[in-house]
Amino acid sequence: MSSNIQFEVTAPGKIILFGEHSVVYGKPAIACAIDQHTTLTFTESYCNNQDLNTIPCRIILPLINYSGMLTIHLDAKPTFSPTTYFQETLNKLNKNEPFLNELDTLSGNEKKTLTVLHFIFGGILSCYMKQLKNVSFTIGITSVLKLGAGTGSSASYCVSLVAACLAYVKFKINSNVEIQFDPLLDDFHSQSGDNLLIIEAFTDNISFSDGEKCLINRWALLAENFIHTKASGLDNTICTYGTMVQYTKLNSHKLLEAPELKILLIYSGIERSTGNVVQSVRTKYNDDTYQPILDAIFNSIGQIVNSAVNAIDQMAQNPLQELQQISVLQTLMDMNQGLLMSLGVSHETLDAIVAILKKFDLHAKLTGAGMGGYAICLVPPNIHKSKIQTCMQELKIYGFESNICTIGCPGVRIQTK
Ligand SMILES: Nc1ncnc2c1ncn2[C@@H]1O[C@H](COP(=O)(O)OP(=O)(O)OP(=O)(O)O)[C@@H](O)[C@H]1O
Ligand SMILES: C[C@@](O)(CCO)CC(=O)[O-]
């Protein structure tokens, strides 16, 4: 076996500064990419598989203790519609029909995680590569992101998979490929607003175009829907594009000019599933007694996001106003945390973390789905180093590990070896 195409993809994790949960109900949110990444290593090998419609893959996922073989099945008549392909895969799974031998024997979480991988590689390669003979892949994915903690591990996983698959196509094709999307089947729009996407063959420039990022984001959202059931699209958008974004569901996103900001990430020690937490809010929302109250809470969080965007814009335009605007953001964080508590998505450990930080005049909120996972705290640029260190020590005494991260980092990237 001789190895051929080999590369690495990194996708950042994320924090939500303001607007988790309400974003699922159409309100705006602000998220930032962080300097903690998922790293995918892709290696192509030649093997003796003459079958044009299957690709044997070795998959190594240390974070879920999985290592094994998975056969990627290519669709002889691809739909070219990610949404249709997603629905077909979901229908097969929901009917509990035999799906793929290797997947059928796996436990719940492993099955979900590998189904996502098959969905992405099977779907994209069927559409854009058609037939592949005598190749096999090794795909290894590691991450410094904790699973189920609010820093977007699932979105980062999905984005890195889609980006790796698209990168493989771009390495493999000799000339550009034009993809015409059917607007009735799919709501894909390239940056130019039409339904034509050109996948550019990799030559010297090993990067993704705006249209390709749009495609990565689209497939990653569908993949996220396997893991979360119904994701807003915020997490995959920030993991794809990076920096800081203001996002409203179905209404695309706007990159914000992010000031240099540091965040303290504090881990509550509690792992939870984003899908379950989102479902618990949905159950309350579906109850007529609570729905008008939840609508009012979501509207208020939407207002908090608008004020935060304003403060961030002011900071970018006038650096002299930075401290004043940081103080506004801190107040908005307190308000957002209060509203998330009233939604029932905080946790006694998260409340304890917020209280410890308050002793140091610091302001914090949960980030991501809540009910565990991480809390975030804005680190004011003028804070004395010793104060933040004492605060981190105090958190440690209570059993909470914390670390400072930089926000506003770049999105998904490819590196050749
Ligand atoms: N590196 C990885 N290897 C394997 N599976 C992963 C990896 N990263 C994420 N996953 C999958 O994503 C799931 C965690 O997703 P979940 O949405 O619950 O948490 P999160 O993305 O960390 O939190 P949030 O969505 O609130 O930011 C894991 O259970 C696993 O199935
Ligand atoms: C809780 C939520 O708002 C953020 C999860 O990181 C869910 C979503 O946006 O899909």
The pLDDT of residue 2 is above 50: no
Pocket lining: 53 vs ligand 1, CB cutoff 6 Å: no
Q: Whose CA is nearest to atom 9 of ligand 2?
A: 232
Give 13-34 pLDDT, tens digit per residue: 999 999 999 999 999 999 999 9
Pocket lining: 64 vs ligand 1, CB cutoff 6 Å: yes
The pLDDT of residue 262 is above 50: yes
Q: Whose CA is nearest to atom 6 of ligand 2?
A: 368
Higher pLDDT among residues 186 and 3, named by residue: 186
Give the start-end residues of each E strand in 144-219: 177-180, 196-199
Quote the DSSP letter at residue 195: S
Radius of gyration of the chain (CA): 22
Q: Ligand 1 centroid vs 145 CA: distance in angstroms?
A: 9
Lowest mean pLDDT among 89-98, 282-291, 357-366: 89-98
Give 190-242 pLDDT, tens digit per residue: 555 667 788 888 887 889 998 899 889 989 999 999 888 788 999 999 999 99
Give 106-126 pLDDT, tens digit per residue: 887 888 899 999 999 998 998
Higher pLDDT among residues 43 and 229, named by residue: 43
Give pLDDT, residue 198: 84
Pocket lining: 369 vs ligand 1, CB cutoff 6 Å: yes
Mean pLDDT across 152-171: 96
Q: Whose CA is nearest to atom 5 of ligand 2?
A: 368
Give pLDDT, residue 81: 73
Lowest mean pLDDT among 113-122, 123-132, 243-252: 123-132
What pairs with residue 402 in β-bridges? 266
Which numbered ligand comes closest to the C-alpha of 21? Answer: 2
**In ligand 1, which atom is closest to the CA atom of 142?**
1
SS3 label, residue 254: strand
Q: Ligand 2 centroid vs 16 CA: distance in angstroms?
A: 9
Q: What ipTM goes with this model?
A: 0.97
- Of 237, 84, 89, 80, the C-alpha closest to 158 is 237
Mean pLDDT across 324-350: 97
**In ligand 1, which atom is closest to the CA atom of 143?**
1
Give pLDDT, residue 74: 87
Q: Ligand 2 centroid vs 319 CA: distance in angstroms?
A: 31
Pocket lining: 148 vs ligand 1, CB cutoff 6 Å: yes
Q: Which residues contact 28 (CB under 8 A, 6 or more apart)?
A: 19, 246, 247, 248, 302, 305, 306, 309
Q: Ligand 1 centroid vs 277 CA: distance in angstroms?
A: 14
Helix, strand, coil percentages for the chain (3-state, nearest 5): 45, 25, 30
Question: Residue 241 and residue 376: Cα distance in Å, rounded?
Answer: 21
Mean pLDDT across 246-260: 85
Pocket lining: 157 vs ligand 1, CB cutoff 6 Å: yes
**In ligand 2, which atom is closest to the CA atom of 14?**
6
Lowest mean pLDDT among 28-37, 38-47, 61-70, 186-195: 186-195
